[in-house]
Amino acid sequence: MKKQEPVYTISEFGQKARITVRTLRFYEELGLIIPAQKNSAGHRLYGLEELAKLQLIQSLKFIGYSLQEIKNLLEDDVKGLPQLEKSLAWQHQLLTEKRNELNRAIEAVERIQMLMSEGKPITWALLRSLLYEMEHEQEQEQWVREYFSEDIVNHFFSLSKEQRKQIDLEMLELLSTIKELIKNGASPQSPEAFDVLTRLTEMVTRHIDDHEAFAEQLEKAQQSMETEELDFKFPNFFTEEEEAFLTAIGEAMEEMYKEENNL
């Protein structure tokens, strides 16, 4: 005697398959799983055929296919597998890109954790700039290549993880000093203020061999585009108050240079 196939109500099936009734109803609306059997009350019953269909849907979802893509694949038993085979290379590329994005996100979290563990003041401006840089590093590199020499580009974008960590820590220290100077009402003409800008300049240009070439290329890049465009490409590390303070220091240093050289 043939053993009768077990059937389940939608709630029973959901419990056994560990899926919500809402999701099963949604799959039915999409036409992905439509049970053929009904009980005496007219409620749909789920059996092994629906279980196999559900497991297939979940497996295809696992490898990144959308529900609409899955529906298209399963609509035709004959054409479905050849279509799947053709799409696998593209799916592999999409998943690889997602993996790379996740790796960047994990690295960003680790980088921020490291900075916050130092006990130095952290601003949203700094976090925004660091996270944006890591998320859009390829776009930033393409932009830099339009305005700077290959040598300079390579210096900026080939820094090791340890070198970046060192720069991050130095930037934290500088930000802390800048905030302290502003809090104490320090003059932009003070030696302490000059020292901050000197350290900042040294940090930015440390891994560049030809400082004059870099300065010339930077000036040309700034002249060729609006300041707002630079802000969109490279969010500022500093708050408006800090930016104004640094600008005032730069102007004071330039004025002192002119006086010392009778310019």
- In this model, does residue 23 exceed pLDDT 90? yes
- In this model, does residue 1 exceed pLDDT 70? no
pLDDT > 90 fraction of the chain, expressed in percent and rounded: 47
**What pLDDT, in 10s, does the model give residues 148-163?**
888 888 877 888 888 8
85 within some domain:
no
152 within some domain:
yes
- Count how many domains the chain has: 2
Tokens of 63: 């490898």
Q: Which of 2-6, 63-67, 203-207 has the highest mean pLDDT?
A: 63-67
Do 16 and 145 share a domain, yes or no? no
Burial class (CB in 10 A: 0-12, 13-18, 19+), 194: middle
Contacts of 192 (CB under 8 A, 6+ apart): 177, 181, 186
Number of other residues whose CB lies within 10 A of the CB of residue 83: 14
Do 251 and 126 share a domain, yes or no? yes
Do 132 and 70 share a domain, yes or no? no
* Average pLDDT estimate for 10-24: 95
Q: Which of 54, 79, 104 is the last residue of a domain?
A: 79
**What pLDDT, in 10s, does the model give residues 72-83?**
999 988 899 999
193 within some domain:
yes
Beta bridge partners of 38: 44
Do 159 and 256 share a domain, yes or no? yes
Cα torsion angle, 255, 260, 261, 262, sign: positive
**What pLDDT, in 10s, does the model give residues 181-218?**
999 999 999 999 999 999 998 988 887 877 788 888 87
pTM score of the predicted model? 0.68
CB 206 within 8 A of CB 164: no
**Structural domain span for residue 150:** 115-260
Do 119 and 71 share a domain, yes or no? no
Q: Which of 55, 79, 103 is the last residue of a domain?
A: 79
The DSSP letter of residue 45 is: E
Do 50 and 149 share a domain, yes or no? no
**What pLDDT, in 10s, does the model give residues 84-131?**
999 999 999 999 999 999 998 999 999 899 888 888 778 888 888 888
Confidence band of 180 (pLDDT split at 50, 70, 90): very high
Query: Can you say whether residue 137 is alpha, beta or left, with left for phi > 0 and alpha for psi between -120 and 50 degrees?
Result: alpha
Q: Which of 60, 79, 98 is the last residue of a domain?
A: 79
Confidence band of 233 (pLDDT split at 50, 70, 90): low
